[in-house]
Amino acid sequence: MTYVFMTVSATLMILAIVGIRKILINHVPSLIFGILWFLVVIRLCIPFDFTTNYNIYNLLYYLRSKLGFESFEISWLWLDRIIMMIWNNPILKICCLVIWLLGVFFIVFRLWKSYRRSNKIHKESFPCPYENDLKNFLARNGLKANYIIKQSGQIQTPIACGILKPAIILPQNFDTENSTVWIQALLHEYMHLKYHHTFIQYCIILFLAFNWFNPFIWIFYMYVNRDMEIACDRGALKVLGEEQKSAYALQLIQAAENMVEQNEVVFHNNFVQYDLKERIVAIMKFKKFSVAVMAASMLLPFSVATVFGASDNYVFNDEINYQQYDFSATSENTLNIDTTVSEDTMYIPWEQLEPFVQEPVETRAASSLNIVGFCVEYPLTQTKIPTELRLTTEQYGYTYTGTVTLVRLDKGTSKYYAYYNGTLYR
């Protein structure tokens, strides 16, 4: 499992979820999309490997074979090679590391400034004179009233902030004459705290900072925040009742119209944030989901993980044909890993071996060559796969010979694909 494949897989999952979201946003519980976004984080952060027969990568290889494009490489190994080339070049490695660190520093600095502003609002806010009435309302509806409710003159719309000391902060000039407005805003912000959205935002921002170079992670960040707002709208309407949909949507529009443009504060959630039109549509189409819909919706995370998050059963490497090498098969019916070194030395033309050489071009006349991902194909009738092979090649007037060791074995539809790493010496 390489970082390149993890990135490609996570990117395809993001695109798939965005597509599913466009179609089913008003027909699937918000929890399902939360699970889907969490799977993206797992795929990109944890280098685990699992294989299924039905995934998009197998489909691409199947179509390639059926359409007769066997020579076409459906692989991202060339990205691995670029990374290895950079890693083996001290100057490029340092330059890329500096650029990455500068990006991380810039994003963290911007977010730190936003955090300072959010924290300042929290500290300088004052007690809300209606706090007891609002907490009594929460208690009457079976909601925990253990959050601080305050007011501030620095904001135009209600916000929820804090992890250790979570608080709901209302604007000082909020419409105190209209109890319905207070209740709607209170419930929306309450849901942010109930669903731990503040903590989730911290985690997502950290995730974004370390993957800032991937544009699809920014798309991920945008849609996660949208889904958190929709989840809170739905949570509030569950308490208010479906008959309050129109009034709730109208209040959201009025709040957006009255909101003065300000710098975005990312460490709190406010009542008017992200795509307003999408939220209005979701509010007006809101209805409580049945148990059957909930159960059927659980198939979505499973399907996305299986189709886009799993590894392929085909060779995920250069499609180099080694059929000129004749490996005899035994009469045994089971595959065994042969622990002996192959006695024969395989001569590999430099043109075929060069893609797997990790040294930069200017140092390839050195005394050794590191080989990574060298692929040998074996028929499925082959019952013993050697764990080590002796290779030799010629280049720059020198002969290189050495042993490569089996590091991975994949089973395709008609062949085994064995991958070897090792070093050849001059």
- For residues 41 and 420, give the distance between their C-alpha atoms in angstroms, rounded to a whole number: 30
- The better pLDDT of the pair 398, 256 is held by 398
Give the pLDDT confidence of 237-283 residue by residue, as tens digits: 988 888 888 888 887 777 665 554 443 434 445 554 557 778 888 88
Q: What is the mean pLDDT of residues 4-8?
A: 80
Give the pLDDT confidence of 384-395 residue by residue, as tens digits: 788 888 888 888
- The better pLDDT of the pair 81, 49 is held by 49
Q: What is the dihedral of CA 186, 191, 193, 194, to 10 degrees?
A: 130
Q: What is the mean pLDDT of residues 343-357?
A: 80
- The better pLDDT of the pair 271, 126 is held by 126
Q: What is the pTM of this model?
A: 0.68
Q: What angle, 0 to 180 degrees and rounded to 10, lies between the N-to-C axes of helices 179-194 and 197-210?
A: 60
Q: What angle, 0 to 180 degrees and rounded to 10, lies between the N-to-C axes of helices 215-240 and 3-24?
A: 40
The average confidence (pLDDT) of the chain is 77
- The better pLDDT of the pair 177, 412 is held by 412
- For residues 94 and 76, give the distance between their C-alpha atoms in angstroms, rounded to a whole number: 24
User: Predicted confidence band at 313 (pLDDT cuts at 50, 70, 90)?
Assistant: low
Where residue 236 falls (left for φ over 0; alpha for ψ -120 to 50; beta otherwise) is alpha
Q: What percent of the chain has pLDDT over 70?
A: 77
What confidence score (pLDDT) does residue 256 get? 62
- For residues 162 and 125, give the distance between their C-alpha atoms in angstroms, rounded to a whole number: 13
- For residues 110 and 209, give the distance between their C-alpha atoms in angstroms, rounded to a whole number: 10
Q: Which domains does the chain have, with CATH numbers?
A: 3-103+297-308 (no CATH), 112-288 (no CATH), 336-425 (2.30.130)
Q: What is the mean pLDDT of residues 394-403?
A: 83
Burial class (CB in 10 A: 0-12, 13-18, 19+), 178: exposed
User: Predicted confidence band at 16 (pLDDT cuts at 50, 70, 90)?
Assistant: very high
Give the pLDDT confidence of 144-175 residue by residue, as tens digits: 878 888 888 888 778 888 888 888 888 887 66
Give the pLDDT confidence of 316-338 residue by residue, as tens digits: 333 333 333 333 333 333 344 44
Highest mean pLDDT among 206-215, 341-350, 383-392: 206-215
Residue by residue, DSSP assigns 282-342 as: HHHT--PPPHHHHHHHTHHHHHHHHHHSSBPSS--S-----TTS-----S-SS-EEEEEEE
Please report which helix (H) or strand (E) contains residue 59, including its range. Answer: helix 56-67
What confidence score (pLDDT) does residue 310 get? 80
**Helix residue ranges, H only, 89-214:** 90-124, 131-140, 179-194, 197-210
- The better pLDDT of the pair 341, 216 is held by 216
Residue 57 has pLDDT above 50, yes or no: yes
- For residues 387 and 393, give the distance between their C-alpha atoms in angstroms, rounded to a whole number: 20
